[in-house]
Structure 1
């Protein structure tokens, strides 16, 4: 698995992945790690856990999946748009080595039955990020900082859970079928999730 998760992020092996809802005033710090660990213990999860946190409503959860040529891809998304940003916008945290940030807003979890090479995993991250951005642009979401189209929020997180095959994926770009399917699923899931957000933000 490769992820930007607050708990055990990076390239790692894991038995479980969590995406939990927390208050909008929460931050991602060492204390967040402890909260996620405590949550996993309360669920009696055994083994390594990767964990994300979000202030977004779990009612925004959307799932898209497809099986093509024996390869299954599943995309899970939760979203909120309280802090949309255009890449390169002025950042609130002004230290290059800051260890604190806010909790995730658009959280994306991708699972596949195929075994992706490490290079393909990184390429899949690129495709998924482009797909999320495309969904935001299609929805005409603007950054309040620059008034340009948002390319994400300031606190997005992503995880890609690698499969065991037998299919092996070496490439995941826009010229190959895996990249096409992954991009479409992520874009559709994000679009559906943020559509729920806009329909319900006044009552959330």
Structure 2
């Protein structure tokens, strides 16, 4: 079942309800799928640079949080359910409920910037630079080690941000926008006083699994997206509003949006 949640002339954002199967069990979930009428160049913190027809964000059902041992297989399962091939999409995943997605838009002159954000920070908020990490990756497999032993994963949260603009960003501008996005996200964590999960005395800067997708457009060229530029301001504003709203919805914070 598809529900259109946003659309412009050359792309549409759909929330797709479907099932996923893991270890013989089936659960219902939802995936955000954004379809472009023309291929778009994107930068993903998960997959790097790629030219795609779609970007998306899929919600992992709570009963499966500790059952997904091979994410590539799970990803293939999701893509088969929504009818999209691996080479045509950049896809993020989250433990957040897709019904708690937040959308924010800014316009100036001929440019627009839109953010689609899911966020949750209850279970793995961190303050980078002040905490020790719990995970190590070897040959693309991730392990959690405590006192030399692998233990069951704890519940996780994440902040996933998909940013779309009609500006024709250079590769450098796309990379710079990730810095701008991250600073705006951390701004929200500070304002909402989100605390580190492991060390509550520390102010969190994000979660340990945050991801970003930046989608460039076919408009006027832009090579810089830092905070002194209008486009950088727009990026920061949509990220701040959408991250704030998504955290309040997902974590049921007693704060007005």
Q: Same fold (TM over 0.5)?
A: yes
The reply to whether residue 45 of structure 1 matches residue 87 of structure 2 is no
1:190 shift after superposition: 0.4
Structure 1 residues not aligned, in runs of 5+: none
1:14 equivalent in structure 2: 52
2:126 equivalent in structure 1: 85
Of 165, 179, 187, 1:112 maps to 165
> Following the alignment from structure 1 to structure 2, what is the Cα–Cα distance between the partners of residues 12 and 64?
24
> Following the alignment from structure 2 to structure 1, what is the Cα–Cα distance between the partners of residues 160 and 67?
15
The reply to whether residue 187 of structure 1 matches residue 251 of structure 2 is no
Structure 2 residues not aligned, in runs of 5+: 1-41, 144-152
Describe the superposition over 1:34-83 as per-residue Cα deviations: whole angstroms up to 9, x where unpaired.
32233223222255111111111112200001221111111000011121
Matches within 5 A, 1:133-144: 133-144=186-197
1:134 shift after superposition: 0.3
Q: Contact 2:173/2:222 (CA < 8 Å) preserved in 1?
A: yes
Matches within 5 A, 1:35-184: 35-45=74-84, 48-81=88-121, 82-88=123-129, 89-94=131-136, 99-100=141-142, 105-146=158-199, 147-165=201-219, 167-184=220-237
Q: Contact 1:115/1:169 (CA < 8 Å) preserved in 2?
A: yes
Q: Contact 2:68/2:74 (CA < 8 Å) preserved in 1?
A: no
The reply to whether residue 196 of structure 1 matches residue 249 of structure 2 is yes
> Following the alignment from structure 1 to structure 2, what is the Cα–Cα distance between the partners of residues 184 and 195?
17
In the superposition, the TM-score normalised over structure 2's length comes to: 0.70
> Following the alignment from structure 1 to structure 2, what is the Cα–Cα distance between the partners of residues 74 and 18?
14
> Following the alignment from structure 1 to structure 2, what is the Cα–Cα distance between the partners of residues 128 and 106?
11
> Following the alignment from structure 1 to structure 2, what is the Cα–Cα distance between the partners of residues 129 and 28?
28
In the superposition, the TM-score normalised over structure 1's length comes to: 0.87
SS in 1 for 2:184: helix
> Following the alignment from structure 1 to structure 2, what is the Cα–Cα distance between the partners of residues 14 and 98?
23
Higher helix share: 1
Count of aligned pairs between the two proteins: 196
* Deviates further, 90-99 or 116-125: 90-99
Q: Which has the higher contact order (CA 8 A, sep 6+)?
A: 1
Q: Contact 1:73/1:182 (CA < 8 Å) preserved in 2?
A: yes
SS in 2 for 1:178: helix
Distance 1:96 1:133, change over 3 A: farther
Query: Which protein is bigger by CA-based radius of gyration?
Result: 2
Q: Contact 1:104/1:157 (CA < 8 Å) preserved in 2?
A: no
